[in-house]
Amino acid sequence: MEIKPVIEKWDGMISALTIGAEAKDGGSRANTVKIGGETGLPLLFKEGNIPNPPVVAYEIWDIPPQDWPEELTAPYGKALNNPFEWADKCVNEFKAKLLCVRMQGGHPDCGNKGPRECAEFISILLSRVKVPLIIIGSGDDTKDNQIMPACSEAARNERCLIGSAVQDNYKTLVASALADGHSVIAESPIDINIAKQLNILISDMGLGVERVVINPTIGALGYGLEYAYSIMERARLAGLSGDKTLASPFICFVGQESWRTKEAKSAGEQGIIWETVTAASFIQSGADLLVLRHPAAAKKISDYINELFVNKDTGQRG
C-alpha cells in the first residue's frame, strides 16, 4: 500500500511587497527586491507557492560603530570609518542586493544629528549606491519622530522600507511613508496580539497591510530564539488561515541580536557561527528579510538560501 504525504492547503496568502523603485517606476534603483507572496508554510514547497526566497540585507550605520567587536569590524577595515565607503564595500565587494541603514547618528547619545543632516546623508547615499534601502531610526522615539520624516522625504519615490513603527509611536512614520511612497516596518515586542493591533492601527491611517513588514523582535541563539520562533509560527499560521492583519512578511534583525551576546564576542569565528545559526533558524520560521552584519555570515546564509531553493526537477537554482 502506497503511503502518500498529507498536503495541507491554505486559504490565505502572505502579502507580496517590493522594495526599491527603478527608473520606470519613478525611482533610481538598479534593482528591486521582492519578498512575501507565500501560500504555504516555510520551505514546504509542495504545500503552496513560495515565489520569493528570503533576502539578506547588509546593515550599515551613518556613523562608525563604537561597540562592535574586532571580529565584526575586521572585514570592513578602514571603510567602517566612512559610511559611504562602507556602503560601497558592501555592494561592490560583498555583492549586497539590499542595504539596511541605521541612522544611529541621530541618537542624542551618538551625535544628535538633526533632520537636515540626516536627510543629506540619505540623499548622498542614494546617489552613491543603486541598491534598494531599508532605513531605520536611532531607537530614540522622540528624536526619530524628527529625523525619519526628513529621511523619508529625501528618499521620496525610491520605495524604501522605513522603520520602525511601534504601538505608542507610529503615526509620524506612517504619515511619512504615505506621503513619500514607502513601506513600513511594524515592530512589536514578541507579542502576536500587539503585532495584529499595530497592523490594524497602521491600516486605519490609510497605509494598506500589503505595505507593512512585521518586525516581531527576535532573540539570538540561546537568548530567546525559541520563543520568537514560536511567535512567528503562530503569526504565519494565522496569516495563511485568512487573517489579513497578520499576513505580512517578516524582517529579522539577526546581526543586531547575535553580536550583542557574550558568545559572539568571544575570540575566533564564534560570532560568525552564532549569527549564521540564528539566521538559518529564523528562515525555518518564515523570515523574509534577514538583516546581517558580518559578510561571512551573510555569504553563508545567501548560499544556504540558494541551496534550499534548488529546483529539484531541473537542478537549476532559484
> How do residues 275-302 score in pLDDT, each as one tens digit?
999 999 999 999 999 999 999 999 999 9
- pLDDT tens, position by position, 99-139: 999 999 999 999 999 999 999 999 999 999 999 999 999 99
Domains and CATH numbers, the chain: 16-307 (3.20.20.20)
Grade residue 6 by pLDDT with cuts at 50, 70 and 90. confident
Paired with 162 in beta bridges are: 135, 184
The yes-or-no verdict on residue 55 having pLDDT over 60 is: yes
Looking only at the bridges linking them, the beta strands covering 183-187 and 212-215 are: parallel
Share of the chain above pLDDT 70, in %: 97
| Mean pLDDT computed over 219-233 | 95
Looking only at the bridges linking them, the beta strands covering 16-19 and 33-36 are: antiparallel
The yes-or-no verdict on residue 206 having pLDDT over 60 is: yes
The pLDDT score that the predictor gives to residue 267 is: 73
Q: What's the pTM?
A: 0.95
* Neighbour-count burial of 208, counting CB atoms closer than 10 A to its CB (0-12 exposed, 13-18 middle, 19+ buried): exposed
Alpha carbon distance 131, 33 (integer Å)? 9
- pLDDT tens, position by position, 9-52: 899 999 999 999 999 999 999 999 999 999 999 999 988 999 99
Least confident range from 22-26, 66-70, 161-165: namely: 66-70
The yes-or-no verdict on residue 315 having pLDDT over 80 is: no
Q: 87-102 b/e with 16+ CB inside 10 Å = b?
A: bebbbeebebbbbbbb
Alpha carbon distance 185, 167 (integer Å)? 12
The pLDDT score that the predictor gives to residue 317 is: 41
The yes-or-no verdict on residue 268 having pLDDT over 90 is: no
